[in-house]
């Protein structure tokens, strides 16, 4: 995940300029995989959007929380507008205790304010996350998602430019199923297992965000192994399995991995982009600024297509077993990596949301 900090240009980005003859690994990667930038920093997104290599942008509770605490006048204006909007819509008065629904609306409004800025920078979609605390409540997740989309549409931004992010719980996936039928496209995030991916595809989710780096973290902790060849990285193999299943059975769900780690270990030069290169050719990737910079500094020759729809579909051995809530729960009990990493991710995003609440309360 990228952090919103005072941003300074990186010289490597110049090597990725679409106006220069020199090419880079990032340009080669963009030829075979749609690229999203994993950042809520307006300046960073703007710089990379100008290269023409980045199509989408993803945000999460961490970015929104950092926007709330940033101090930059642009982010502060977003916060103040969110507070004013929430007060006006819920009739909360200055000096009174802040009702929960007012705070929740301010949180969503701030996420939309950040998203509106990013929509103006990238040509594709911006992901905006539903309150992570609702991840086990389908109805409330759907309600908040509709409210977020309504705010975007009130600002003149079509829902076709927005992806609603929902955690990969059974309830979150079922919320996506409802929303997709309404034409609201969804990004199922915090995906650590094939089970989550299959359920999301069967629900008709537009996109999933599996986290190969965190899957690798779990396996390294379990085995004590310091590093893997990128093609044998457990996170890479997990994503390839998901991608192969989608392509074999004709699911339209996009596979967009995020959250990267060095397969061979951080001490190995160039290993920071191991997983990215090992998954080159997958539908889409979301990549933070430091790794985009690394790819800009590498030769285009390092990029080889390692995900191919026809080849990977042919190699898929998984049946298209239709999941129910009961069967999902039964299989989920055996998925220790999925359980542990999902809880860890949700706990971290919940903590960021609670930080944001503290910041917002001070603004009322």
pLDDT tens digits along 63-95: 666 766 667 888 889 999 999 999 999 876 666
- Which residues is 208 bridged to in the sheet? 188, 255
- Structure tokens of 178? 């409802």
Model pLDDT, residue 260: 98
Model pLDDT, residue 332: 98
**Distance in angstroms (rounded) separating the CA atoms of residues 239 and 235:** 6
pLDDT tens digits along 303-331: 999 999 999 999 999 999 999 999 999 99
Spell out where 162-255 has E strands: 162-167, 186-191, 207-210, 254-255
The yes-or-no verdict on residue 9 having pLDDT over 90 is: no
Model pLDDT, residue 93: 65
pLDDT tens digits along 194-205: 999 999 999 999
**Distance in angstroms (rounded) separating the CA atoms of residues 54 and 35:** 5
Question: Are 134 and 144 a contacting pair, CB within 8 Å?
Answer: yes
Catalogue the active-site residues: 165
Question: Which distant-in-sequence residues (6+ apart) come within 8 Å of 75 by Cβ?
Answer: 4, 67, 68, 114
Give percent of the chain with pLDDT exceeding 70. 90
pLDDT tens digits along 135-154: 999 999 999 999 999 999 99
Kindly indicate the confidence band of residue 13, based on its pLDDT and cuts at 50, 70 and 90.
low
Model pLDDT, residue 364: 84
The yes-or-no verdict on residue 20 having pLDDT over 70 is: no
């Amino acid at each position: 995940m990228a952090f919103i900090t005072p941003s300074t240009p990186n010289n490597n980005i110049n090597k990725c300029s679409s106006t220069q003859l020199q090419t880079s690994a990032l340009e080669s990667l963009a030829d075979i995989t749609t690229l999203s930038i994993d950042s809520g920093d307006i300046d960073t997104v703007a710089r990379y959007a100008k290269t023409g290599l980045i199509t989408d942008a993803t945000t999460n509770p961490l970015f929104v929380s950092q926007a709330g605490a940033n101090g930059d006048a642009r982010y502060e204006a977003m916060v103040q507008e969110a507070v004013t909007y929430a007060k006006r819509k819920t009739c909360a008065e200055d000096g009174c205790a802040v009702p929960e629904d007012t705070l929740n609306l301010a949180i969503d409004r701030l996420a939309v304010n950040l998203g509106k800025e990013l929509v103006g920078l990238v040509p594709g979609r911006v992901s905006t996350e539903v309150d992570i605390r609702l991840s086990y409540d389908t109805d409330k997740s759907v309600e908040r998602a509709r409210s977020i989309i309504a705010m975007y549409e009130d600002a003149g931004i079509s829902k076709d430019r927005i992806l609603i992010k929902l955690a990969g719980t059974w309830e979150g996936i079922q919320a996506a199923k409802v929303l997709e039928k309404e034409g609201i496209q969804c990004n199922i995030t915090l995906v650590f297992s094939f089970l989550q991916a299959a359920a999301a595809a069967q629900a008709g989710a537009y996109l999933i965000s599996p986290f190969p780096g965190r899957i690798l973290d779990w396996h390294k902790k379990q085995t004590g192994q310091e590093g893997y060849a990128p093609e044998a990285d457990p996170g890479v193999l997990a994503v390839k399995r998901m991608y192969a299943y989608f392509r074999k059975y004709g699911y339209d769900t996009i596979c967009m991995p995020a959250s990267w780690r060095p397969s061979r270990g951080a001490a190995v030069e160039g290993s920071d982009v191991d997983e990215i290169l090992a998954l080159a050719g997958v539908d889409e990737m979301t990549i933070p600024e430091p790794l985009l910079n690394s790819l800009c500094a590498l030769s285009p020759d390092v990029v080889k297509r390692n995900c191919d729809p026809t080849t990977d579909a042919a190699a898929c051995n998984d049946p298209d077993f239709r999941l129910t809530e009961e069967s999902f729960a039964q299989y989920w009990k055996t998925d220790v990596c999925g359980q542990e990493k999902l809880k860890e991710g949700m706990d971290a995003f919940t903590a960021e949301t609670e930080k944001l609440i503290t910041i917002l309360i001070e603004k009322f």
